[in-house]
Chains A and B, each alone.
Chain A
Amino acid sequence: EAQVTQNPRYLITVTGKKLTVTCSQNMNHEYMSWYRQDPGLGLRQIYYSMNVEVTDKGDVPEGYKVSRKEKRNFPLILESPSPNQTSLYFCASRRSWDTSYEQYFGPGTRLTVT
């Protein structure tokens, strides 16, 4: 089954404790992206990757890091989480850089930083 998986689905942590949210896709997609969803703001892009070893900032990259060492995986790293990073996070993948292709989203990770 074609899918994007994320782990963990729920996470409660404390300020400053480094964490990683994993993302994996099995569709051999070139393009992957991370979004955060906040009330009234929709989905805002954090980082994206056009292909292996190619990553770039989205609209809200501050406080986040990513890496793309393999085509299927695109982890999101919060080196020192803060309460304003409490949000619902989605990983997504797309066949290529072409925006007319649909994106496939993971089930989401709800992060709470206290």
Chain B
Amino acid sequence: DQQVKQNSPSLSVQEGRISILNCDYTNSMFDYFLWYKKYPAEGPTFLISISSIKDKNEDGRFTVFLNKSAKHLSLHIVPSQPGDSAVYFCAASVKASYDKVIFGPGTSLSVIP
């Protein structure tokens, strides 16, 4: 049973518009969440994170929103650029613990010029 779910395997967005990638988790112990971005033939790279004490974290064009009651988080990219086309992995963990980080299956984003 997957503890971190990304129910949209793929997403297509026009350049300049907003991209919204969703992630749901089932384990209520998770309190730290990360997003990684992966280009073809490369390893994932860290994008942005959020702790459960916050409901929003922003870094340039990227914003992550956390809804703890719904066990849901989303990554917003505004404005979307063709270079954002990649696979995005949502990941969750128990902060400052020895527990592992659990990754979702990923969402493939295509930004159309």
Q: Which residues of A contact B (CB under 8 A)?
A: 4, 35, 40-45, 48, 50, 58-59, 90, 92, 97-100, 102-108
What chain B residues lie within 8 Å of A92 (beta carbons)? 43
The yes or no answer to B51 lying at the interface (CB within 8 A) is yes
Q: Which 3 A-B pairs have the closest CB atoms?
A: A105-B43, A102-B46, A99-B93
Q: Which residues of B contact A (CB under 8 A)?
A: 2, 4, 6, 9, 32, 34, 36, 41-46, 49, 51, 89, 93-101, 103-106
Partner pick for A42 among B43, B89, B95, CB 8 A cutoff: B89
What chain B residues lie within 8 Å of A41 (beta carbons)? 105
**Once the chains are docked, how many angstroms separate the CA of A26 from the CA of B77?**
32
Of all chain B residues, the one with the shortest Cβ separation from A102 is B46
Number of A-B pairs, beta carbon distance below 8 Å: 64
Q: How far is the CB of B38 from chain A (nearest CB, A)?
A: 8
What chain A residues lie within 8 Å of B98 (beta carbons)? 50, 97
Of all chain B residues, the one with the shortest Cβ separation from A91 is B43
In the complex, the answer to whether B43 meets A106 with C-beta atoms within 8 Å is yes
Partner pick for A40 among B89, B95, B105, CB 8 A cutoff: B105
In the complex, the answer to whether B43 meets A43 with C-beta atoms within 8 Å is no
In the complex, the answer to whether B89 meets A43 with C-beta atoms within 8 Å is yes
Partner pick for B96 among A100, A103, A105, A108, CB 8 A cutoff: A100
In the complex, the answer to whether A43 meets B44 with C-beta atoms within 8 Å is yes
What chain B residues lie within 8 Å of A102 (beta carbons)? 34, 46, 49
In the complex, the answer to whether A90 meets B43 with C-beta atoms within 8 Å is yes
In the complex, the answer to whether A99 meets B103 with C-beta atoms within 8 Å is no
Of all chain A residues, the one with the shortest Cβ separation from B46 is A102
